[in-house]
Structure formats: C-alpha cells, structure tokens
Amino acid sequence: MAQDERIENGEISLLDLLVIIAEHWLVLVVVPLLIGVLAFGMVSMQPHSYRSEAVLTLPAAVISPLGDTEPGLSITQDTNTGTTQLVLAGPDPDVTMRLTAIISGIELAIEAGELPDARGELLDQIAVLDQSMALRDGIIARITTALSDLERASPFDTQAYAAASSALEELLTGRQDAQVLAAELRNELAAIPTEIVVSAPTNASLVGRSPLLMALLATLGAGFVLLIAVFMRAGFRNAAQDEDGQEKLDRIKNALLLRKTKSRNAA
C-alpha cells in the first residue's frame, strides 16, 4: 500500500529500483553477455592488420624506391632530426621479421655501393683532401729547398726566386683551404651515427581495437540499454495503473503518432 502511494506521488525509492532489477536480472545478465560474445566473434573473424616500425639515419630519398617494391611499407622523413621512419603493415604478424630483413638488405646494399652512404662519401672526400695536402707538402718542401738554393746562388736570379715564392704562397694558401675543409668534413662526420639503425623494428602490434575490448564495450552498452528499457517498462506499467498516468501515456502515444486516442477527460 505504501509502495502504491509512492508510485502515485511520483516517488520511487532505492528499494523499488532493486526490486525491478531483481525481477529482470536474468535478462540484464544473459542478453548483454550474448551480445558481447557475438561482438567478440564478429571482430575476431574480421581480417587483422599488424604493424612494425623502425627509425634509420638515412635520408628518405635514399630508400624511397623500396616503398614501390615492398607492399605495406611507408617511408617518412623527419625534418627536425634528419631521420627516416619505416612503417611496415600487413595481415600477418611476421611484419617485424620482414622489416628486419628489409633493413638488413639496405645495409648490404650500402656496403656493396648500391646505395649512397653519407659516412662513406665524407670519408672519401676527407681521404682526397688528405692526399692533396700530402702532395702539396712534398711540393712545398721542394720549393722551399729551391728557394734556399736560389738565395745562396751567385749571381742571384730575381725572376726565378719571385716565381718560386709565388708558387710557394699559392701552395700554402691551397693547403690551408684544404685543411679547413677537411676539418669541417670531420666535424660533419662525427655528427653522423656510425649505425644506420636508430630504433630497431618494434614488435608486431595489432592495428585497431582488440576483439576483447569490443566485446566488453558491447556488453556494457547492451546492459545499460536494457537497464534503461526495464526501468521505462516498469514506469509505464505503474503509470497505467492510475487515471492521470494513463492520460499522460495516451498523450505520449499521440505525440509519437503511435495511435490516435481521445483523452479520458475529453470523453
């Protein structure tokens, strides 16, 4: 009797809510679980995609042709760090092994001279400059000796001494320029990592949401919707027990075009 009075007054206690949940607990538990299992099965049957990524010191332009020959491989240049990110995606979880093989092929191609090597190019330039400076040192030593001989010679050959001095000055200037350039190249070489791999290929990761997560979300969503539906059904049933509540239900049905009825008061 007290419960009917609370319902008529539009009041529902916590105990009333628990009674509604207890009367429908089987539906509230079984149906969401079934929907969760169905969602898990549907997501599990869909084709998966895995990905692995690595970071190299090589410019993207050097290895960009690989993007045309390796399916699922994307190459991105990081302008801030000067590194290149390789991302390999595919339906099989062996993408890490595939990406490792690709990087090994790049290293072999660099060693064979098939791909440009920044460190190798700098080392070649430094070697050429060192050889040029060594050659100049030999010529400078001979010209210095010749100048000493000219200074002691009698009569003194002014033209020969002037020509030798001019050649010596030119050689010294050229050697100094080569020495400065070689120092700059060595500094640039020191800034380049000795290994081309900055970050090794990561373990294969599943792209997208996991089936377990989707099943959990489907279960929770279905449970919430069913809980709201149970409360609404109980509320409609309680409202239909009195004349004022039935009048309101008729107005709702009319507003939703469910059926056209005349209000009880009008009748």
Return residue ranges of the chain for CATH 3.30.70. Answer: 50-116+195-206
Return residue ranges of the chain for CATH 1.10.287. Answer: 118-191
Contact 255, 262 (CB under 8 A): no
As a whole-number percent, the residues of the chain with pLDDT over 90 amount to 26
What does the DSSP assignment read for 243-261? HHHHHHHHHHHHHTTS---
pLDDT at 1 exceeding the cut of 60: no
Give the residue among 177, 223, 258 at the shortest CA–CA distance from 28.
223
Looking at residue 264, its pLDDT comes to 45
Looking at residue 80, its pLDDT comes to 79
* CA distance readout (Å), 186 to 22, 82, 129, 182, 194: 80, 19, 11, 6, 13
Dihedral sign from CA coordinates of 251, 255, 258, 260: positive
- pLDDT tens string 85-106: 999 998 888 999 999 998 898 8
Q: Which of these ranges, 24-28, 75-79, 125-129, 260-264, has the smallest mean pLDDT? A: 260-264
Best mean pLDDT range from 73-77, 137-141, 187-191, 247-251: 137-141
CA distance 201 to 197: 9
Looking at residue 258, its pLDDT comes to 57
pLDDT at 6 exceeding the cut of 70: no
Contact 178, 136 (CB under 8 A): yes
Q: How large is the average pLDDT for residues 192-204?
A: 85
pLDDT, averaged across the chain: 81
Q: How large is the average pLDDT for residues 212-234?
A: 88
Looking at residue 257, its pLDDT comes to 64
pLDDT at 209 exceeding the cut of 60: yes
Give the residue among 2, 28, 27 at the shortest CA–CA distance from 15.
2
Task: Considering only residues 6 and 244, tell me which one the structure prediction assigns the higher pLDDT.
Answer: 244
Contact 105, 124 (CB under 8 A): no
* pLDDT band at residue 11 using 50, 70 and 90 as cut-offs: low
Dihedral sign from CA coordinates of 127, 130, 134, 140: positive
pLDDT at 267 exceeding the cut of 70: no
Q: Which CATH number fits domain 50-116+195-206: 3.40.50, 1.10.260, 1.10.10, 3.30.70?
A: 3.30.70
Q: Which CATH number fits domain 118-191: 3.20.20, 1.10.3470, 1.10.287, 1.20.120?
A: 1.10.287
Looking at residue 3, its pLDDT comes to 47
Helices and strands (DSSP H and E) totals, the chain: 10, 5
Q: How large is the average pLDDT for residues 29-35?
A: 91
pLDDT at 8 exceeding the cut of 50: no
Q: How large is the average pLDDT for residues 138-154?
A: 88
